[in-house]
A and B are shown apart, each in its own frame.
Chain A
Amino acid sequence: MATLLEMQSITKTFPGVKALDQVSFTVEEGEIHALVGENGAGKSTLMKVLSGVYPAGSYDGQVVYDGKPAAFHTISDSERVGIIIIHQELALIPLLSVSENLFLGNEVSKNGIIDWPETFARTETLLEKVGLREAPTTMVEKLGVGKQQLIEIAKALSKDVRLLILDEPTAALQENDSQKLLDLLLELKAQGITSILISHKLNEVAKVADRLTVLRDGATVCTMTRDEISEDRIIRDMVGRDMAHRYPERKRNPGEVLMEVKNWNVWHPELADRKVIKNVSFNVRKGEIVGIAGLMGSGRTELAMSIFGKSYGRDITGSVTIGGRPAEVGRVKDAVAAGLAYVTEDRKGLGLVLDDPILRNISLANLPGISANGVINEAEEQKIAEGYRGAMNIRTPSVHQHVVNLSGGNQQKVVLSKWLFTGPQVLILDEPTRGIDVGAKFEIYGIMNKLAAEGRGVVMISSEMPELLGMCDRIYVMNEGALVGELSADEASQERIMSLIVRN
């Protein structure tokens, strides 16, 4: 077998973070090569380097494709030589037909006028290849996620694909749809198409992959052949790392139960038949940091937001008690009054008014706290903001600085300040260290420890298992909307969490 793709010593740095460190990755012609690793291990970054999303020159190292050095500057450069990437979030346009989507940007036309008969004919051929029986004029929004996935693949085939990259193609699929997709991959392989499959589902990977590469912390750990693949080994390679001294010390002595959530059920806001949270019950004690582990899309954010003022989902059922009393959390206002705060994972989208200065962001959730008779006392606002600037070590020349100009870590401290100013008993922190540099992470950990020491309850949602293990007294493991395990700090290990996730 000839080598189709060779990525040599790829290093890609973002401000403050080394996303890829000397990664080498080789794909043989005609194989299905699985790429696995935790969230943040660098899989997506590597694929973005390959497909030209990060143009040649923005990274170090060499990409050799089909025997020749390649320098892709845009996605169309890589598509021209047959490298097609299908992202986890599908890039189809829901209100256009199957045909229109298939040939979008690549229309069958003459002098700018679309040749519909030819378009439909080609659509039929392509749909047949992927085993999809739908009329070319069907609106894409009418199709399920599984069929949409097949249309993405058909679209790739229409562009004469040689190397097909699938990013978590089965993450949103039902069991039998996943099976169909994997069968299709094997069929394409028989036709000589090479695939890179990024997946968390190890049983699927084991079924179709010829070889498998594990990435961890932006570096290649190993590449194994089909016979060497075993779940245990993959899990060990995915998570094994040194984690001493990355978390500040804390005395752990949780008190009585502070918040208790029972039988929490949530339905998807738009898809009528999709239950997003399935009968989840958990609690957090005074002075305790509780982790919720799980992969992206496992429903952790949806759980938190549905509890916090029913900000997500519909037909929510279940009960919340805070401090022994039933808590009304139906509106954000009520949840805040009950002593709950939710620090979002989406700082820029949901957490901050970016064009406003720091002090206005800090006061936003508790404006009555700085006003008398509905009139804001700006001196008080300033004083409060200065206080948090000191306590949180927000690095800025002035609290009048607009938050859009702050670094991720400082923005996160502003969001934390905003919620602390509401005086919460329980804080739910959703990915509190995402996208911030190592130094700021350590500071955020310190703040969390302080909150726990003050007797508050902290719920920490994170995709980074080491930080959960380093910080939490207890860890709940979540998968596909349900809790699949609860581990004490002593029992918990990355292997155990990962195996709870991938084996459920």
Chain B
Amino acid sequence: MSEMTEGEARRAGNPGLVYLRSHLREYGMLMALIAIVIFFSVLVKAQVGIDFLVAQNITNLFLQNSYVIIMALGMLLVIVAGHIDLSVGSVAAFTGAVAAVLTINYGLPVWVVVPTCLVVGGLIGAAQGYWIAYWRIPSFIVTLAGMLVFRGLTLWLLDGRNVGPFPKAFQSLSTGFITDVFGVGRPNVTAILIAVLAASALIYLGWRTRTRNISYGINEEPTIVFVIRNAVIAAALIFVGWKLATFRGIPNVAVSMAVLTVIYAFFTESTVTGRRIYAIGGNLKAARLSGINADRLTFLCFVNMGVLAALAGMIVTARLNSATPKAGVGFELDVIAAVFIGGASMSGGVGKIVGAVVGAFIMGVMNNGMSILGIGIDYQQVIKGLVLLAAVVFDVYNKQKA
């Protein structure tokens, strides 16, 4: 047990530090993300002579990583339920291709294409989830098959060619920005306002949870840690908002990403269905014996994953402004890596939405930073692989120590 008596805590020194040391797992990845950002800021300045955190690059970070984050939300549920989905890259490519064919070959408007593609993604997820949940075929096998099948169908649908360009309305899925309702333009006052509001909301919600926990006597986080944590996050948010404001404002994808993150965080932490998914991953048999319909929940996790993969596929397609047969190759690995870096457990039952998002940003910042530094794709892969391994080893080491 990691709890200490008061005497021990005093002897060990600062209570904030003691707390952090015993909760390294939760704060470790956030600190790692901050460290990586600082690391690249220094290195990029020294090597290339430009500012890593320049507005355009921050915008790029969002645009480049939105699809990983969106799919990581679904992948977290799949992994928490004790499964894996290797097909998301192919499914994203396929739905992107469907969007292209519907938009360009059939001339359908965005408001028809987007829901249609989401439904297609859901059906694909259902098709895979059916075998996994009701036939008990290992998800690794089913989605490996799906990975091949949908890659092939993408090639077939696009006839091996790129299909594009898209009308403006579809492109804005990815490259659009929130217009400044105050009409100032630069700096974009709306962007600053949204960032300040988001930061205030986070602090308010955090404070409310904290007071509630204190009233139950279950609060563990020392005040100093709470204050520093919230100050850092709020400062980061406002900093990013300010930077974005000086460029083109907040990208649409950043908004969809943030909204989805909040929804999924709430779903996993506070709803009956979310709780049950953790239970089936934590102990499938005990969950079944507690009256939980594990098969249906597993099925729904894959349906959800399919829908999110479709959304990600459309965003990628909109960003590239063309559907290509090669789109989404290797995405599944980035997404799965993000979820594991974020602290999810391979055996299921453990993992947080916020962790997965932080994990995705760690991967994204590294991709971006290494590219700016001109590090070859060869070394990039090696480094990313080692970071994934290190993150999981760190997790396991922490768990063994506890």
A residues in contact (CB < 8 Å) with B: 308-309, 311, 331-333, 335-336, 342, 344, 349-356, 360, 364-365, 367-368, 371, 374-376, 378-379, 382, 397-398, 400-401, 405, 418
Contact = CB atoms under 8 A, between A and B. Distances in A.
Contact of A350 (B212, B218, B276, B285): B285
B275 A376 contact: yes
A342 B218 contact: no
25 contacts: A308-B289, A309-B291, A311-B288, A333-B293, A336-B291, A349-B283, A349-B285, A350-B283, A350-B285, A352-B286, A353-B287, A355-B282, A355-B349, A356-B282, A356-B349, A364-B275, A364-B286, A365-B291, A368-B272, A375-B271, A376-B271, A378-B270, A398-B218, A401-B1, A418-B290
* Pairs A-B, 6 closest by C-beta atoms: A353-B282, A365-B290, A332-B291, A333-B291, A367-B272, A353-B283
Contacts of A376: 270-272, 275
A114 B292 CA distance: 49
B216 A382 contact: yes
Given A350-B283, A378-B270, 6 more contacts: A332-B290, A355-B350, A364-B292, A371-B271, A374-B272, A379-B212
Interface in B260-281: 270-273, 275-276, 278-279
A401 B350 CA distance: 16
Interface string B275-316: 110110011011111111100000000000000000000000
Contacts of B270: 375-376, 378
B289 A374 contact: no
Given A353-B349, A379-B212, A379-B216, A367 B276 contact: yes
B378 interface: no
A331 B212 CA distance: 38
Contacts of A308: 289
Interface residues of B, number: 26
B205 to A, nearest CB: 14
A308 B285 CA distance: 14
A344 B289 contact: yes
A405 B2 CA distance: 11
**What is the predominant secondary structure among interface residues of chain B facing chain A?**
helix
Interface in B27-58: none
A364 B272 contact: no
B3 interface: yes
B271 A400 contact: no
A398 B270 CA distance: 21
A374 B273 contact: yes
Interface string B2-23: 0100000000000000000000
Nearest to B293: A333
Given A336-B291, A398-B218, A405-B1, A351 B272 contact: no
Contact of B289 (A311, A367, A397): A311
A353 B272 contact: no
Contacts of B273: 374
Contacts of A356: 278-279, 282, 349
B328 to A, nearest CB: 33
B289 A350 contact: yes
Given A355-B349, A375-B270, A397 B291 contact: no
Contacts of A418: 290
Contacts of B278: 353, 356
A351 B291 CA distance: 12
Contact of B279 (A311, A353, A400): A353
Contacts of B216: 379, 382
A356 B282 CA distance: 8
Contacts of B283: 349-350, 352-354
Contacts of A374: 271-273
Given A309-B291, A353-B279, A376-B275, A397 B286 contact: no
A382 B218 contact: yes
Contacts of A368: 272
Interface in B176-222: 212, 216, 218
B212 A360 contact: no
A332 B285 CA distance: 12
A22 to B, nearest CB: 36
A109 B278 CA distance: 48
A344 B288 CA distance: 12
A379 B217 CA distance: 11
Contact of B275 (A309, A360, A397, A401): A360
A301 to B, nearest CB: 12
A52 B107 CA distance: 77
A364 B287 contact: yes
Contacts of B349: 353, 355-356
Nearest to A422: B291
Contacts of B289: 308-309, 311, 332, 342, 344, 350-351
A379 B215 CA distance: 10
A410 B223 CA distance: 33
A401 to B, nearest CB: 8
A333 B216 CA distance: 31
Contacts of A344: 289
Nearest to A353: B282
B271 A364 contact: no
* Of listed A308, A364, A367, A374, residue having the most chain B CB within 10 A: A364
Interface centre among B1, B3, B271, B272 (most CB of A within 10 A): B272
B1 A332 contact: no
B265 to A, nearest CB: 13
Nearest to A305: B289
Contacts of A354: 282-283
B286 A353 contact: yes
Given A356-B282, A400-B218, A364 B350 contact: no
A309 B291 CA distance: 8
A94 to B, nearest CB: 19
Nearest to B269: A376
A360 B273 CA distance: 13
Nearest to B218: A400
A464 B13 CA distance: 52
Contacts of B293: 331, 333
A73 B271 CA distance: 51
A168 to B, nearest CB: 26
Nearest to B350: A355
Contacts of B218: 382, 398, 400
Nearest to B220: A400
Nearest to A332: B291
Contacts of A331: 291, 293
A352 B287 CA distance: 8
A413 to B, nearest CB: 16
Contacts of A378: 270
Nearest to A368: B272
A225 to B, nearest CB: 48
A397 B3 CA distance: 10
